[in-house]
Amino acid sequence: MKTYLLAVQFDETTEWSEEEVAAQRAQVAKVNEEMTGTWVFLGGLLPSHASTVVRPAGGAVTVTDGPFAETKEQLGGFWVIRCADLDQALAWAEKCALACGAAIEVRPFEGAQWV
Amino acid sequence: MDLDGVFRAEYGRCVATLTRFLGDIGLAEEAVQDAFATALEKWDEPPPNPGAWIVTTARNRAIDRLRRESTREARHAQALLLQQPDEPEDVGPVRDDQLRMIFTCCHPALAPSAQAALTLRLLGGLETAEIARAYLVPEATVAQRIVRAKKKIRDAGIPYRVPGHAELPDRLPPVLTVLYLVFNEGYAATSGELVRTDLCREAVRLARALADLMPDEPEVIGLLALLLLIEARRPARVGPDGELVVLGDQDRTLWDRALIAEGHELVRRCLRRGQPGPYQIQAAINAVHTDGTATDWTQVLALYDQLLQFVPTPVVALNRAVAVAEVHGPAAALAAVDDLDLPGYHLLPAVRADLLARLGRTADAVAAYDAAIALAANATERTFLETRRARLAPN
């Protein structure tokens, strides 16, 4: 078994209506239900306005407002899943992408604490 | 002793089988290379079944190597290896190994440039330097692409398996694209350079193997037929001075009749099936080109109309316009290419130039040839366009 991160690449510049948000949440909830037994951890994130970066600098740290990069797409949420191989991970990612209406980056873990 | 020939013929098969044993392409390649080094020392003549000898030797070398290592992965791989039968295997599983390898090399999670390089390396047994020469890129670039792709296969957990029937509609097209691109890469070079001729042969060989492995996939048969029918005409495509000879001017006695007969038979097989697809239609177009003493352009145009439904791209529309010119005249064809948007593609101005010349619009034709010459990357094609242009404007 391998462990993968399915990270939602969320375009924060797109406006969503309340109905669209509700529909997306319902679709994602359905996928989560279907993924029971496969996901280890999952969660949606608040937009990057709520993000703070702590950066090492000469033995101390600096704390700054905002995400690492000023890009349109930000991490919007993620699943951590356990499955046999990349093909299975990609099959789940397809469902997640369609449910979220956003791109999903599929990335294997190098190691994971609970393994 | 022709160890190079054995290497080329057996390398892909052996690596594919060892990958199943070892679960890792890199380890499999090392083991197979070890075995070939041993063969170089031990063989006076290759044994009757050199592939089986290489696989057995590679397996034993891999076990030795893994015994010296103590990691968990090594012990796991060793356990797997020791479970494998000693006897040479039936043809069936070995073929499945190659099929698994093709689908792994052409996995959509790999970059297209890496898919082609990996396929030529792992299935064709081509050296990195040969692939680099064929694609006119530095050897280091190819080496890096291959190393990265193998690393991604291992780290991302790309499975070593043939996709299930339900997945084939998504997974087969990239495989066909890679084989087609490999062939095209060889075919685009008309200078007769040996290595690039090799690429055409390699693509045909791999397409044949795929058709052998998946005889019920009409597009696989279509691709093989297409490659055979283009390959059959290659001897006539370059004239005595290395110049490009277009279809209508080719000496048909130079065509390879056996390849054409095989291609036509495959196209008929596809037609009987009645599940058309882009490669089958392109094969049918090439079957019309190679049927009888001259091309039946009405049939070709009908096939391009059908192809355009499957592949509505400007390149297909441009090729269709060539058929339009033959059936409805150059003015109709010119109207058909006027709206095409193909920036940087030299064949668009080249086709326009030919149509304009046929309409007697010499000055426009010369300008279009100039545009095509400026865009053409292949020296032989450039010479061809320059000759055409010179005929219109001798000075």
B255 has a pLDDT exceeding 60: yes
Integer-rounded Cα Rg, in Å, for chain B is 24
ipTM: 0.82
Q: Is residue A114 part of a domain?
A: no
Residue from B158, B160, B168 whose CB has the most chain A CBs within 10 Å, to mutate: B158
Residues B157, A85: C-beta atoms closer than 8 Å: yes
Q: Does B76 touch chain A (CB under 8 A)?
A: no
Burial of A54 (0-12, 13-18, 19+ CB in 10 A): exposed
What does pTM read for this prediction?
0.79
CATH of the domain at A26: 3.30.70.1060
- Taking only the tens place, the pLDDT of each residue in B280-309 is 999 999 999 999 888 999 999 999 999 999
Q: Which of B109, B157, B161 sits opposite A2 (nearest CB)?
A: B157
Contacts of B156 in chain A (CB under 8 A): 86, 106, 108
Q: pLDDT band at residue B120, thresholds of 50, 70 and 90? A: confident
Q: Is some CB atom of chain A closer than 8 A to the CB atom of B159?
A: yes
**Nearest Cα residue in chain A from B160:** A85
Which residues 6+ apart lie within 8 Å of B188 measured at CB?
A: B378
More confident residue, B66 or B303: B303
Return the amino acid letter for B217: E
Domain assignment of residue A73, yes or no: yes
- How far A95 CA lies from chain B's nearest CA (Å)? 15
What residues of chain B lie within 8 A of the CB of A106, using their CB?
A: 156
Closest CA to B110 of B69, B159, B66: B159
Residue A95 lies in a domain: yes
State how far the Cα of B262 lies from the Cα of B394, in Å rounded to an integer: 44
Which SS3 state, helix, strand or coil, does residue A106 take?
strand
Contact B157/A90, CB-based, under 8 Å? no
Give the residue-averaged pLDDT of B148-152.
Answer: 94
CA–CA gap between residue B192 and residue B237 (Å, rounded): 10
Nearby residues of B206 by Cβ (< 8 Å), 6 or more positions away: B102, B119, B123, B124, B179, B182
Model confidence pLDDT, tens digit, residues A31-68: 999 999 999 999 999 988 889 999 999 999 999 888 87
In a domain, A113, yes or no: no
The DSSP bridge partners found for residue A42 are A79
Distance from C-alpha of B106 to C-alpha of B177, rounded to nearest angstrom: 9
B155: chain A residues, CB-CB within 8 Å? 108
| Rounded alpha-carbon distances, angstroms, from residue B177 to B77, B116, B155 | 33, 9, 25
pLDDT of residue B366: 96
Which of residues B316 and B166 earns the better pLDDT score?
A: B316
- Does residue A100 fall inside a structural domain? yes
The mean pLDDT value for A71-76 works out to 88
- Check residue A99 and give its pLDDT: 96
SS3 at position A12:
coil
CB contact, 8 Å: B156 with chain A? yes
Domain boundaries, position A70: 2-108
Give me the number of domains chain A comprises: 1
Tell how strand A60-65 and strand A2-11 pair up: unpaired
